[in-house]
Structure formats: C-alpha cells, structure tokens
Chain A
Amino acid sequence: MYDAIIIGGGVVGCAIARELSRYQLSVCLLERSEDVCTGTSKANSAIVHAGFDAHPGSQKARFNVEGSEMMEDLCRQLEVPYRRCGSLVVCFDPADHEQLQQLLERGLENGVQGLELLHGAVLHAMEPALAPEAAGALYAPTGAIVCPFTLTYALMENAKANGAEFRFDTEVRSLRRKDGGFQVETSAGILESRTVINAAGVWADVFHNQLSDYPIHITPRRGEYCLLDRKDGTLVSHTIFQLPGPMGKGVLVTPTVHGNLLIGPTAQDQPERDSAPTTAAGLAYAVDTARRSVPDLPMRDVITSFAGLRAHIDSGAEDFIVDETAPGFFEAAGIESPGLTSAPAIGRYLAAAVARHLQASEKESFQPCRSGIPVLHQLPLEQRQALMAADPAYGQIICRCEQISEGEILEAIRRGARSLDGVKRRVRAGMGRCQGGFCAPRVMEILARELGQEQTQLTKGGGQGRLLTGKTKEVQA
C-alpha cells in the first residue's frame, strides 16, 4: 500500500512527485509510456509565462504567477536550462492598444511584476526583427524560456533521489475505492494506495469521471510548431506573442534555451488523444501568422516540425482543476497553457494538500538539488579536459550537429533513457540540423550495448515503435 500514487509522468506529475518526496510518504508515479515526458510535456512552446493572460482569481492566474516566480530557483536547484528573455505581446493596429492596456491591468491584478507598455521606436529598438506594422507591445520582463524535457527529467530524478518510485509501461485502467484507500488496476497488475493524484494530461477526464460526482470532458487541442536551425536563434531576443484570441495565446516566435528559433502553436481541437500529426494547413497557418510578427523568418532553415496536444476541458470555465475533488483523490486536470509554467506551483500545492490529508510531516533528509548531465560543448576547455580525463567517452563525439559526446549519451542511458527519443530529449543527440541522420545508427549501437539488447529490439520512443525490422542476414553469425 502506497501513501500516494500519481497517474501520469508529464511535467505536472513529476513536479507533484518531487514535492511529495519532501514528506515522509511512500510515493509511486505510474506512466503508461516507457519514459516520462512523452505527452504534452514533450511538445509545447517551452515558455515560462509571466502571468498576465489568465483571469484574476482563476487557478490559471494563481499557479501561473506562483510557478513563474518559483521557476528560476527551481531550475537553478535542478540544473535545468532557463533564460529570462522577457516577452512582448505585440499589436499591429493602434486601435488595439486598449487590449494591451487590459492585459496590463489584468497582469497587475494577478501580481505580475515589471509590466510595461512600449510604443514605436522604443519597441523596434528593443526587438529590431519585428514587423514595421508593430504598433505597440506589452513587455513582461519576467517572461522566460525553459527546457521542458530537462525540467521533467530533473523533477523525476530529484524525486527518485528522495525516495519516490516510478513505474513505466504501466497504464492505469481503473480506480476503485477500497478500505478507505484506492485500488488501482493497471496493465502491470493491481496496486493500492491511500491517495491518488490524477495528472494524466489529455486522459485526466477518464480518471476524474471514475471518482468524481460531476463529469468533465477533455478535448485535445493540437498545436503545431516549426523549429528552425540554431543559426537563427538570435533573430529575436524576446518571446513574441500576438494579442490572444478565443483559442489561446496565438502563434508566438521565440528563441529556445538551446538557441533555436521556435514558431507556433496553432490551436485545432481533435478527438484523437494518442496522436498529434502535423498538417500542411496547420504549418502554413503557423508560418503565415508568425510572419505578421517577424516578417523575415528564414523558413528554409526549418529543421523539424511537430505537434503537441493541450488538455482542454470543454466546460467553458477555461480553467484548471487543481484540487482534492473527492476525498483522498487529488487532481491536476485540464492543464493546458500555462501548464508548464504552473507545474512547480501545482506540485507544491497538491503535495501540501496530500500531506495534510495524510497528516504527513516533512523529512529532514530531503535533498532539493540535482546535478545535470554535463553539457560538454558549453563548458570551458579545462573542464572538458577534466571530464575526458575521468572518462574518455566524453572525448568521442556521436552527434555532430549538437556536438554531443558518447559520455553524455551513456549518462542519459544511466538515468533512464531506453529509446532513441529518450536519449534525444535528455541530451539532444539527434535534435540538430541533420535530425539524427548521422548519429542515429551510432546511438542505436550504444543503446543496444548498454541495455544488453539487440539493435533490432530498440524503439524510437517505446511501445511497438521498433526502429528496425530485423537483420539483413538471418545467417547465424
């Protein structure tokens, strides 16, 4: 019997696990995939929102502002790439200044620091790539960018270091009350827990509806993105939004913490929860819309496009559900944007609520820090040499485009990567301009060797996604 079972290993589930690991509780996170960070957390804008969008008094407003305030320290503790680049919400028609003013007031009411309205020359001097039509902008200096993959992995690693357990390839099928706790039926057997925390992303409604007295329905809202080469990452220096619309915050143009340029997302509701395809129309819309903000986007430098799903609750309330919605059953449901920003605050809030419910106290041994995988190419020469002296594998480059060494890949595997995508998200091998053309066969060789598997067993990202169908020669070697 666990004290707490968390359903879902996205950034929110992992943040809850990490916060719960502060307490004297037995905690287990269940993830249906082979790894954490395989749903909404793997494909989003990678933005830390300042917090002026959400309606004052809403959970979105509260957790956004709190999460944004927590994020920098958290990223320092967990060694997660984070950069406070500031954000601009740009309008193109002087008549829209009023909307900017409303956003500013909302931001002030939500407690966002440092907001400022910018006009004309000041704006264009600050962000020269903006379209000449840009008439004004709301500047939020607390807007930031973060690596959502590293954040999720770091939260997991830190939670594990503090005693939390993670089970993969474990899909929750049903939740039942039993003896004052819960019986959790999974694809890997039955588990029991005193409390359950639902952080199941686009599937959260399924578990909500099994235990709650009011039903909800989640519709995945697909967002399509294009990622541009690292040589374009300095085209803009801020995250550039346009005025928000009814479907969300619209298409943004932003640098990423790794120096790429990201544009997107679109917002298209779809019934399918397991798959997020890009579409010709969606990508074209993203590019056309982004060009309103930044006309000179070098689209020939696109290295990949992708889509993610946001868990949108259909009720019309346009808010998160973050609460104890039934006795002992806690939820983080409908965590769409600004979910990544809110994750640390949601984790802290729900962990505290669970601890209160279980009357648990904090452990003295909690270790808040996690050291990251060394990013070789960012280190000074002497530090790189020291790493190579300790382990020559750091001298061997596997991914040419991102200059990722075998040492970094080995460390990713030691920390839980089991597939090509698991390695890629942890250390960026295959994330660069050739998209794994050169390094995929090398990474596969290392994965097979380290996991003690045949290369033919390896997957792209778990499940049935085998990379190969066999060997060319079935002759016994």
Chain B
Amino acid sequence: MMRQVQLAVIGGGPAGLAAAIAARESGVEDILIIERDKELGGILNQCIHAGFGLHTFGEELTGPEYARRFIDRVEELHIPCQTDTMVLDLSPDRVLTVTSRARGLEQIQAGAVILAMGCRERPRGALNIPGTRPAGIWSAGTAQRLVNMEGLMPGKEVVILGSGDIGLIMARRMTLEGAHVRAVAEVLPYSGGLKRNIVQCLEDFDIPLLLSHTVVDIHGRERLEGVTLAQVDDQRRPIPGTEQYIPCDTLLLSVGLLPENELSAAAGVTLSGVTGGAVVDETLSTDHEGIFACGNVLHVHDLVDFVSQEAALAGRSAARYLQQGRHTGSAIRLEGKNGVRYTVPALLTGQSEEPVTVRFRVAQPYRSAAICVYADGTLLRRIPKRILAPGEMEQVTLRPQELPEGTQTVTFCIEEGTK
C-alpha cells in the first residue's frame, strides 16, 4: 500500500517552510516537508550576510537567523520533515517518487503538492563564454557554499562576472576572507544589485565595477590563469580593441537564476516562457489540480520576505483545496505589456474577495514612470514611481471588487513621463 500524505511540500527552504506553516495553521494535519539537503533552510543557510526579514520581522537578520525562525515554528507545530531526501519524480496524479539513504526508494500519494524547489544558477555554458575549461571557475552560489559552510577557499585573485546581489555579496565575502577581488564585470549598463550592496560590498573595498563589460576569453590549462574582459555595445556585443587581460585564479559567475521546474514539467504543469515557473492563479494553484507553487521555483525573487508571504498564500490555498475541493469557473487573464515582463499570478479566478498581490519585474530601468493597470483597455490604476529597476520585483495590490463586471483581461504596463 502506497504511503499517503495530505500535503507534500517539495523543498525545505524559505518557501517550503512558510507554506507548510501556513497550511498547518489553516488546519491541514498531515503534512510532509521533503528537503534534499541535510538540513532545512535551503539557500538561506549559506547567505550569512545581514539584510533579511526587515519587512517580516522589522529587523535585519542574517540568512541562517531568518531560516531559524521558520524552522523553530515548523518544530513547534510538529510538522514532519524528511531531509537528505530527493524527489525524483512527480506524476500528474500527485504520486511522488522519493529516495533517501535512510528509507530507500518510496512512492507517496499526496492529496495536494506545493512546489517549493527554488532555483539554480545559470552555468558558464549557458553564456557560451569561450576559452579553456580549467579549475577555478565557479558559479557564485557554489563558491558561497564552499566559503560560508565548508570553510574552503576557491581562490585568491578573483574576477566576478555579474553584478546581481549574489555577485556583489561574494565580492565582499572573498575580500573579508583574504582574497583580492580584481573586478566585478557587468554586461548591462547598470547593476541589477541593490545600491546598498554596490556601496557596501564594492565601494567600501575599492573593488571596480565595470559596467557594459563581459568576459570574452578564459585562459589557463589546468588552473585558471586569467580572463580577458571587453567592453560591449548596446547589443551586448564585445567591442574590438577594448579587450583587457586580467590575471586571476578564480572566476565567479553570477549571471542569473533559473527556477528549477523539472518536477513541475514531469507532472505536466504548464510553465511560463518568461519566468520559467508555473502559470498560476491568485491562489498560486498551477493548471494541474492540487499542485501549487511558490517562491523562487515560481519566479525568482530578490527579497525573502516576499517569498515567505507568497508561500504562506500557497499553504493556505492548498489547505482550502484539501478542505473544499477544486474551484471551477471562468478566469480573468492578467498580462504584462510595455515594460512589464510577466505577472504572477497570470489568472484571476474570483475564488476570494481578498486583495490579490500581483508581482512582476520590469524589462529595463525607468525613472519618473508609472505602473498602469488597465481592465480591457480602461485605466484602473496609475501608480507613479520615481524609479523602477529590473533587479527589484514590483507589486501591485488589486482588489477583485475594483474590476468592472465582465472584465476579460487586466493589463499591467509601464508608462513613461509624468502626466
């Protein structure tokens, strides 16, 4: 007889923890959190810097401290967890095939599933950076784990490609552990990282930030010996004659995160071509009955506080599904246009009167622009913004009551200039 659980939460990082807590608080008794690493907490365990939880707790915590608050709550609520356990497959009818050293291979039939697997880093190959393939090239997150959790030093003379927050944070971490960070190169004309990180991770240590630059060649046979950087034009093409050789033994890549949706795809969940995550409605339900998604597996976040909020909604929704069954009915489509790359959720099904938080990212930086919301062409909301940046997730709270009767599509877009 196959093992049964009411709710399986795949992933014990910030999303999975918050989802499980909310589901239990909404009355789901039989929950199982499945975590592939040896402990709960996910990526927060290696994010030892401060800056988490300002929205949730009103104080700045480090990653492990933020995770601990949720892990403590999971323990208080006696929610069962299986660590060191990998979900190999998820079937469309919610049968999980899982494996672990402790229990071997088993199959679990879940009443509902919350996808909370997080994301992975884009590797060098995804950029097709030419050159040799020596030791000393790491994705920034892997280096972060080595340095912060394993106490191992990837290198001493470092170049970092990518100025998202992980790249910036690692520039400081490597410096504080005694390495020399020679430069952070960013292919875009602006950094995707927080201003605070640019100041406190780079400027504090006089680390140059080379905007509109990328790595065009990698040198060294067995161990990295250097990289060639070049300036790029507005099409991100290297400009001949701008090449400069920088000797280094380490190249850290912080060039993007990809939601890890192999299990979602295996279950047949429809994925967005923009985010790489599931297409969900306002309850964070995927188009597959009883399967919900939240956190970085749904779309890559920059603030863990929003991950926790989103995940709690997924937990409550899964509880309601288990208690009341599936909602059927027509849906209003949400779409992003003119600078709004996508929206989460992408559908409104009218299942509740509660305000809906719509999250999205913009395609480019804007100054003095406005987020505009239209219902079938009628302007509903115009929210002026002094600044909008692709690195910062935006959110708009929509009240279902404000949508005119019969609305089919709600469009989110950016309009430039002040009116």
Contact = CB atoms under 8 A, between A and B. Distances in A.
Interface stretch (B50-58, B98-106, B291-299, B365-373): B98-106
Contact of A274 (B84, B221, B238): B221
Contacts of A1: none
B99 A397 contact: yes
A302 B178 CA distance: 35
The size class of the interface chain B forms with chain A is 35 or more
B125 A302 contact: yes
Given A397-B86, A435-B124, A437-B139, A278 B105 contact: no
A303 B131 contact: no
A302 B145 contact: no
Interface in B153-167: 153-156
Main secondary structure of the interface of A (DSSP, over half): mixed
A472 interface: yes
A462 B135 CA distance: 10
A401 B103 CA distance: 21
B382 interface: no
A303 B126 contact: yes
Contacts of A463: 222
Contacts of A304: 123-125
A395 B100 contact: yes
Interface string A116-148: 000000000000000000000000000000000
A392 B145 contact: no
A403 B101 contact: no
Contacts of B133: 306
A421 to B, nearest CB: 9
B203 interface: no
Contacts of A397: 36, 86, 88, 99
Interface stretch (A57-65, A156-164, A377-385): A377-385
A327 to B, nearest CB: 37
A280 B130 contact: yes
Nearest to B146: A441
A204 B124 CA distance: 33
Contact of B86 (A388, A400, A434, A473): A400
A270 to B, nearest CB: 12
Interface stretch (A183-191, A352-360, A452-460): A452-460
User: Which of B146, B156, B216 has the largest count of A CB atoms less than 10 A from its CB?
Assistant: B146
A441 B145 contact: yes
Contacts of B103: 395
Contacts of A436: 123, 142
A274 B132 CA distance: 11
Interface in A90-118: none
Nearest to A281: B130
B243 to A, nearest CB: 12
A465 B222 contact: yes
Contacts of A277: 130-132, 217-219
User: Which of B88, B216, B265 has the largest count of A CB atoms less than 10 A from its CB?
Assistant: B88
Nearest to B107: A381
Contact of A396 (B84, B155, B216): B84
B381 interface: no
A461 interface: yes
A441 B150 contact: yes
Interface string B111-136: 00000000011011110101111111
Nearest to A397: B86
A388 B126 CA distance: 34
A472 B125 contact: no
A472 B153 contact: yes
B177 interface: yes
A245 B195 CA distance: 54
A456 B238 CA distance: 36
B77 interface: no
A306 B133 CA distance: 8
A295 interface: no
Interface of B: 36, 84, 86, 88, 97, 99-105, 107, 120-121, 123-126, 128, 130-136, 138-139, 141-142, 145-147, 150-156, 177-178, 216-219, 221-223, 238, 249-250, 262, 265
* 10 closest A-B pairs by CB: A304-B125, A465-B222, A460-B135, A435-B123, A397-B86, A388-B104, A465-B135, A396-B101, A463-B222, A395-B101
22 contacts: A226-B128, A274-B221, A277-B130, A280-B130, A280-B238, A283-B130, A303-B123, A303-B126, A304-B123, A305-B128, A395-B102, A396-B100, A396-B101, A397-B86, A434-B123, A436-B123, A437-B121, A437-B123, A437-B139, A437-B142, A461-B222, A468-B154
